[in-house]
Structure 1
């Protein structure tokens, strides 16, 4: 990292059209897994004014009532759940893919993919500060709407935070941007005052705004029309919001709408789990894990560890420890993290790695990693 730089991350509320499509897709996955833990689901959702379409490949013991799931999820996000024409187009998983994934003695990867996991000691969440702050803003924005703290707020919204770093350490907040949907009769000056008071300042307690921080609240002015009426929503279009805010590499695969055999999801969660345990164990200050898979193959074709020269052991030793400690097959990742359970909708919003109760956020492997790293390092030294 340069001596001085600015890093930026964004977040969106659960009423944002893209994120609401993610939530619907994950609600469908959960409904399938509730009835069949072995269900294979790849659900995509697209929505626009007056129309919601769910499509994909679902192989399950029983197909859930997807139209009802869609209407309920949209209504719970703060919109009229019955104000849309709903169309569902699904079929079973390709038999060729099914044979490649389930035809052997152990489950193969549902597709090829490169997955990244990251952790750093910058915050208690072991995430970069801009990512944490951006999600905190949108959580507070939603809380302010749901609890009536700011009357007149509507579900759609987003936030962005720019943090100035000096010598690799967060130094000050350079800029904050918040855009929120509101009712037509809410005066803009009043809205801006309340957002600053009830959302922005409480979110920035660790690193308060200073006189030079640029604060932009609804910079475009009025934001009355929102949600699907204003913008088309699509599953998988908020990859950086879901992960590390664009501050870490991304393999390109979306998380939502997929069961655990899809390594886009399970591999990304496992990579985060590994990276977080490495940092939590004090084995490195920063850690990026990369996993690569081939469709139908259980074992990853590549595993890499990059601690950016902050590790107390070499990256090679850490890689050996990771391969020893963690089962990186789809079956292993599903079993370790409980990905055959209906848990996905719960963790869909405000970043998949900010939820302390998510199974991939546990730090229960720190002692094992320390012991294995010590043993591996001794073996390398003796040679």
Structure 2
């Protein structure tokens, strides 16, 4: 690994058009899981000027039968969930308004061929919902064991959204992006060399004293979020560098579920398997196995067994057990990586990292997903049922398995 370098990660706000789509898709996942903990959901959302379109495959008791007939009242609940999600984000604009947008629902029954491969039967365990590779990552750069560039990019936008919702910053509109570049020395964050923030704003905040007010506000947020030692004379700010940003969100650009997977994970500091998370129930290993891989990597770092850890899992559709488990501590481990792989295999509570084992241990069959769909699926504090893969309760098990 290089010791001295520049690295950059970006984040996007809850009002970014792709994130609007992600949050709607996960609101549908939560709605269906609240009705049937074993519901199957693959919900894709498209957003554009005053329009939201849903498509995808679903199955679940009290939701839809195999002939495509909706249970009473469910179609209305879906539309209400969509509009409530958009309202909560804060869109009441001429070009995208929670109450006036056109809504189309094209969800349909899950393929019977997929169902037969995934469902458990008398002669087989529940299989993975798809083939694929999933990665998890952790490092000791921040308290939540995340890459610092992404962690601070998220925190800047989270603070701005909180100020917008509270009324502290009424000139902000929902759509925004951030980007943080850090200079690393001896492998550790040393200085922020560039901060980029582009935020949708109220009319008039692109010139004169109002523009200066917006710029000063953003710099104050950055100063509150980043540690003081990272900021200094070499930090260059680019705030709304193109000028006016009044038209944003789905009115400014179409949004689709699953287009911000690097923002969702590790900001480019670790590999990504390619599959999106939002809109998928936890039988889809794109989601649940990626959460499990993060859980394992975070616990390895939290246990002091490494300062940096990448884990890969691989699955085949309809097959319950993972095809492979790979651990890489990037030369920072206190034990051999192969020993960590063996130790993980000895921890019975993980259920062999089968889809059912992951879902059972992390209790993923709950309506907990809408909150994951903005500001990252990882690097969050575990909150009751929320973000259980962020817990560090596997530390003792890992140490015991190594003895």
Name the TM-score class by shorter chain. Answer: over 0.9
Whole-Å separation in 1 of the counterparts to 2:228 and 2:152: 10
Question: Runs of 4+ in structure 1 displaced over 4 angstroms?
Answer: none
The reply to whether residue 299 of structure 1 matches residue 321 of structure 2 is yes
Q: 2:127 corresponds to which residue?
A: 108
How far did residue 151 of structure 1 move?
2.4
In 2, Cα distance between equivalents of 1:180 and 1:243 = 22
Aligned runs of 1:344-363 on 2, under 5 Å?
A: 344-357=369-382, 358-363=387-392
Say which of 209, 234, 237 aligns to 2:259: 237
* Equivalence map 1:223-372=2 (5 Å): 223-325=245-347, 326-327=350-351, 328-357=353-382, 358-372=387-401
Cα RMSD after superposing both structures: 1.1
Structure 2: any 5+ residue segments left out of the alignment?
A: 64-73, 92-96
In 2, distance between residues paired with 1:311 and 1:103? 38
- Name 1:171's counterpart in structure 2: 190
- CA–CA distance in 2 between the matches of 1:72 and 1:159? 26
Distance 1:156 1:101, change over 3 A: same
How many residues in Structure 1 have an aligned counterpart in Structure 2? 373
- Following superposition, the deviation at residue 348 of structure 1 comes to 1.9
Q: Matched residues in 2 for 1:53 and 1:274: separation?
A: 36
Indicate whether 1:189 and 2:205 are aligned: no
For the 8 Å contact 2:24–2:85, the answer to whether it is kept is yes
Q: How does 1:139-154 map to 2 (within 5 A)?
A: 139-154=158-173
Q: Retained in 2: the 8 A contact 1:347–1:355?
A: no
Return the offset for 1:332.
0.5
Q: Equivalent residue of 1:171, what SS?
A: strand
Residue in 2 that maps onto 1:377: none
Aligned to 1:5: 5
Distance 1:43 1:207, change over 3 A: farther
**SS where residue 8 of structure 2 aligns?**
strand
- Give the TM-score taking structure 1 as reference length: 0.95
* CA displacement at 1:206 relative to structure 2: 4.9
> What is the CA-CA distance between 1:150 and the residue it aligns to?
1.9
On the 8 A contact 2:138/2:310 being kept in 1, the answer is yes
Q: Is the 8 A contact 1:31 1:342 kept in 2?
A: yes
| Distance (Å, rounded) in 2 between the aligned partners of 1:206 and 1:125 | 18
SS at match of 1:193: helix
Q: Normalising to structure 2: TM-score of the pair?
A: 0.91
For residue 110 of structure 2, the aligned residue among 87, 93, 106 is 93
Gaps of 5+ in 1: 375-383
Aligned-pair distance for 1:103? 4.5
| Preserved contact between residue 160 and residue 178 of structure 1 (Cα < 8 Å) | yes
